[in-house]
Amino acid sequence: MKIAMMGTGLFAEPTFEALLASPHPVVGLVTQPDRAIGETRGSTRQTGKGMKEIAHANNVPVYQPESINTPEGIAQLSAWNADLLVVAAYGQILARDVLEAVPMGGINVHASLLPKYRGAAPIHWAIYHGEKETGVTIIRMSTALDAGDMLAQEAIPIGPDDTSGDMEARLGPLGARMALDTIAKLEAGEAHGVKQDKSQVTKAPKLTKEHGLIDWSRTAAQVGNQIHAMQPWPTAYTYLHRPNQAPMRLILFRASPIAQSESSGIRPGAVFADGAKPQTLCVECGFDEAGRPTILQIADLQPAGKKRMSSGDFLRGVTIQTGMYLGPEKP
């Protein structure tokens, strides 16, 4: 079976490499255009070896259109004479004419337990909402966003400290194995699709930098989930407000909820240093069901203009005083 691959980023790379190592000829790769360094980033996708670089190393033709849904894109797919499209994190909804340009249509390797988290950032939103597991679903492609019949699905747990980057690195190889298994079933006529339950559909829209701004009125668990979800992009951030000084922008990398024993109960966003050695930075968050403020302990952070550091190292250079708090740049 001749295959055309469509994909971008770290999640797609294992599937592409697995196809290249399989008996199936890979006749072409469609991937996103190269972006200039410093260009505004609009994708959460990490890059490993690089899809284009993998293709060149294996003598696979590469096509990088701004949109595949054009007469030129359809002509290129037709010229490759592929039997099946395999898509993973490509970043475009395919028009009907694109899917019909290939005899067997396409399958999509999607990083969620569909029908939950349809959209561009399924891993991130699963972590953000505190899900305990996520996974990969292989679907027959349709013209609606991630709405096709499910051909296979497997789940894996999300750990309390897992970031979106961590989960993407684990889900990519899982998706590769499932894609090969599904192709084998398609060849054997044993692939049977299951309709998605429309009542269970949730969305995973594309992230922006603004999604990283922390609202400290949310609970410590919710804020911790946000911090991990926004790694490696767009990153979670806040501003430290100090008397008679400009707000200091902080990127937060790792954090965990702790008991309320040292809470001052002043306000969400109020900061204090715990009494342990080395000290760590703690932040009061929103109230729990009993009306008590929840507390988040910051493990790693990065002040503006400096390197990533532990909160203990940060506190060696910044003395926490009463009235200091975290919040948006402009109160």
In the chain, % of residues over pLDDT 70: 94
Give the sheet arrangement for strand 62-63, strand by strand: 62-63, 26-30, 3-7, 84-88, 106-110, 133-140, 150-157
Residue 259: per-residue pLDDT: 76
pLDDT tens per residue across span 43-58: 455 667 899 999 999 9
**Nearest CA among 34, 41, 253, 251 for reference residue 165:** 253
Start-end of CATH 3.40.50.170 domains in the chain: 3-200
pLDDT at 291 over 90: no
- Work out the mean pLDDT of the chain and round it to a whole number: 93
pLDDT tens per residue across span 191-207: 999 999 999 999 999 99
Residue 292: per-residue pLDDT: 81
Q: Where are the beta strands (DSSP E) in the chain?
A: 3-7, 26-30, 62-63, 84-88, 106-110, 133-140, 150-157, 236-241, 248-258, 271-273, 281-287, 293-303, 309-310, 325-327
Q: Where are the beta strands (DSSP E) in 102-247?
A: 106-110, 133-140, 150-157, 236-241
276 versus 53: the higher-pLDDT residue is 53
Distance, CA of 303 to CA of 86 (rounded, Å)? 42
CATH superfamily of the domain spanning 3-200: Formyl transferase, N-terminal domain (3.40.50.170)
Residue 46: per-residue pLDDT: 64
Residue 262: per-residue pLDDT: 56
pLDDT at 310 over 80: yes
The pTM (predicted TM-score) of the whole model is 0.94
**Beta carbons of 233 and 44 less than 8 angstroms apart:** yes
Residue 39: per-residue pLDDT: 45
Handedness of CA 248, 255, 278, 294 (dihedral sign): positive
What is the arithmetic mean of pLDDT over 303-313?
A: 96
58 versus 265: the higher-pLDDT residue is 58
Parallel, antiparallel or unpaired: strands 26-30 and 62-63 = parallel
Looking at the domain 209-327, which fold is it?
A: Methionyl-tRNA Fmet Formyltransferase; Chain A, domain 2 (3.10.25)
What is the C-alpha end-to-end distance of the chain, expressed in Å? 60
pLDDT at 277 over 70: no
Residue 41: per-residue pLDDT: 45
Start-end of CATH 3.10.25.10 domains in the chain: 209-327
In the chain, % of residues over pLDDT 90: 86
How far from 42 is each of 136, 210, 233, 274, CA to CA, in Å?
23, 12, 9, 37
**Nearest CA among 271, 279, 280 for reference residue 327:** 271
List of residues 6+ apart from 80 with CB closer than 8 A: 2, 4, 27, 28, 61
Distance, CA of 310 to CA of 254 (rounded, Å)? 9
Of 226-230, 252-256, 261-265, the one with minimum mean pLDDT is 261-265
Residue 36: per-residue pLDDT: 56
Residue 147: per-residue pLDDT: 97
pLDDT tens per residue across span 8-50: 999 999 999 999 999 999 999 999 998 754 444 444 556 678 9
What is the arithmetic mean of pLDDT over 75-91?
A: 96
CA angle 303, 274, 218 (to 5 degrees): 65
